[in-house]
């Protein structure tokens, strides 16, 4: 029994040490710009091993020099209640859960109807809609792997609450916009603006900013489909919403 208690204590102490490490890292981010994220490093490794090249475009731009159009567009597209919530938008998560459930049910019915008698249908995976806030996305990109486990989601929640507690909304958005992926090896607003529009992030128009915002859930997909009708249509919708968006 003593041995078991000793192991439990060691595990708890190790967990506490990890959380203290995260607290220290996040607290430093209030004044020190992060040089890279866990997601960026994993992508750099993937490109180096799969393609034999280190493809990484990124340039930090201070918050004041980022286009207000881009700030509004990203909030409108990714997290409409960003300035109001405390890291997690429960209503958005509930809606995403309901939408995903309906999509799975519809995909199952469609596959059953289309399958020949006596065969098992090869179901097409339904599109999964996320309900993550900007803060949650930043927490995941900064520190975590891409695996989907209950433990990782729990750690994501802890990191989200720490980011909200230790950093301002403005700083959270600044770090997010300077590190988020906008294409293969393209990270941050400045690299994205130069890559797609050959101009600095400070000079993005409303529609250009909206197009970048719409790309965020699937940046590598849309990078190879610049003429996508969905991208153009959705960007117009986001541009129309931007006027009523509050930015930190």
pLDDT in tens, 124-174: 444 444 568 999 999 999 998 777 788 888 899 999 999 999 999 999 999
The answer to whether the beta carbons of residues 248 and 108 sit under 8 Å apart is no
Model confidence band, residue 103 (pLDDT cutoffs 50, 70, 90): low
Query: What are 79's two structure tokens?
Result: 């997290």
The C-alpha atoms of residue 42 and residue 19 are separated, in whole angstroms, by 22
Q: According to the model, what pLDDT value does residue 89 have?
A: 75
pTM of the model: 0.83
Q: According to the model, what pLDDT value does residue 112 have?
A: 56
Q: According to the model, what pLDDT value does residue 221 have?
A: 95
The C-alpha atoms of residue 152 and residue 241 are separated, in whole angstroms, by 34
Over residues 94-108, mean pLDDT: 57
Q: According to the model, what pLDDT value does residue 159 have?
A: 94
Model confidence band, residue 51 (pLDDT cutoffs 50, 70, 90): confident
Has residue 239 got a pLDDT over 60? yes
Over residues 175-187, mean pLDDT: 96
Q: Chain-wide mean pLDDT for the chain?
A: 86
The answer to whether the beta carbons of residues 209 and 69 sit under 8 Å apart is yes
Q: According to the model, what pLDDT value does residue 120 have?
A: 47
Query: What are 38's two structure tokens?
Result: 């866990």
Q: According to the model, what pLDDT value does residue 82 have?
A: 95
Has residue 1 got a pLDDT over 80? no
Query: What are 52's two structure tokens?
Result: 């034999």
Has residue 222 got a pLDDT over 90? yes
Q: How many CB atoms lie within 10 A of CB 100?
A: 16
Among 98-112, 127-141, 225-239, the least confident range: 98-112
Q: Which residues contact 187 (CB under 8 A, 6 or more apart)?
A: 40, 56, 57, 58, 179, 180, 181
Share of the chain above pLDDT 90, in %: 62
Secondary structure in 3-state letters for the chain: CHHHHHHHHHHHHHHHHHHHHHHHHHHHCCCCCCCCCHHHHHHHHHHHHHHCCCCCECCCCCHHHCCHHHHHHHHHHHCCCCCCCCCCCHHHHHHHHHHHHHHHHHHHHHHHHHCCCCCCCCCCCCCCCCCCCHHHHHHHHHHCCCCCCHHHHHHHHHHHHHHHHHCCHHHHHHHHHHHCEEECCEECHHHHHHHHHCCCHHHCCHHHHHHHHHHCCCHHHHHCCCCCHHHHHHHHHHHHHHHHCCCC
Domains of the chain in start order, with CATH, are: 36-86+167-244 (1.10.3810.10), 90-130 (no CATH)
Q: According to the model, what pLDDT value does residue 128 have?
A: 42
Query: What are 46's two structure tokens?
Result: 């993937």
Among 13-22, 103-112, 190-199, the least confident range: 103-112
Q: According to the model, what pLDDT value does residue 108 have?
A: 60
Over residues 47-66, mean pLDDT: 89
Has residue 121 got a pLDDT over 50? no
């Amino acid at each position: 029994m003593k041995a078991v208690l000793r192991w439990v204590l060691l595990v708890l102490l190790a967990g506490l040490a990890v959380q203290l490490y995260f607290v220290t890292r996040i607290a430093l981010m209030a004044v020190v710009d992060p040089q890279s994220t866990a997601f960026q490093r994993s992508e750099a490794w993937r490109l180096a091993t799969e393609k034999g090249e280190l493809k990484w475009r990124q340039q930090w731009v201070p918050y004041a020099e980022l286009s207000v159009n881009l700030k509004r567009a990203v909030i409108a597209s990714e997290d409409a209640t960003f300035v109001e919530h405390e890291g997690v938008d429960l209503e958005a998560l509930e809606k995403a859960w309901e939408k995903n459930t309906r999509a799975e049910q519809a995909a199952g019915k469609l596959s059953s109807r289309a399958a020949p008698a006596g065969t098992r249908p090869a179901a097409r995976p339904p599109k999964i809609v996320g309900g993550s806030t900007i803060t949650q996305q930043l927490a995941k990109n900064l520190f975590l792997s891409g695996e989907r486990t209950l433990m990782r989601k729990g750690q994501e929640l802890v990191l989200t609450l720490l980011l909200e507690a230790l950093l301002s909304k403005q700083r959270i958005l600044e770090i997010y916009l300077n590190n988020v992926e906008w294409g293969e090896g393209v990270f941050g607003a400045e690299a994205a603006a130069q890559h797609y529009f050959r101009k600095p992030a400070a000079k993005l128009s409303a529609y250009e900013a909206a197009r970048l915002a719409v790309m965020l859930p699937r940046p590598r997909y849309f990078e190879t489909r610049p003429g996508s009708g969905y991208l153009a249509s959705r960007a117009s919708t986001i541009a129309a919403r931007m006027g009523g968006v509050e930015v930190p």
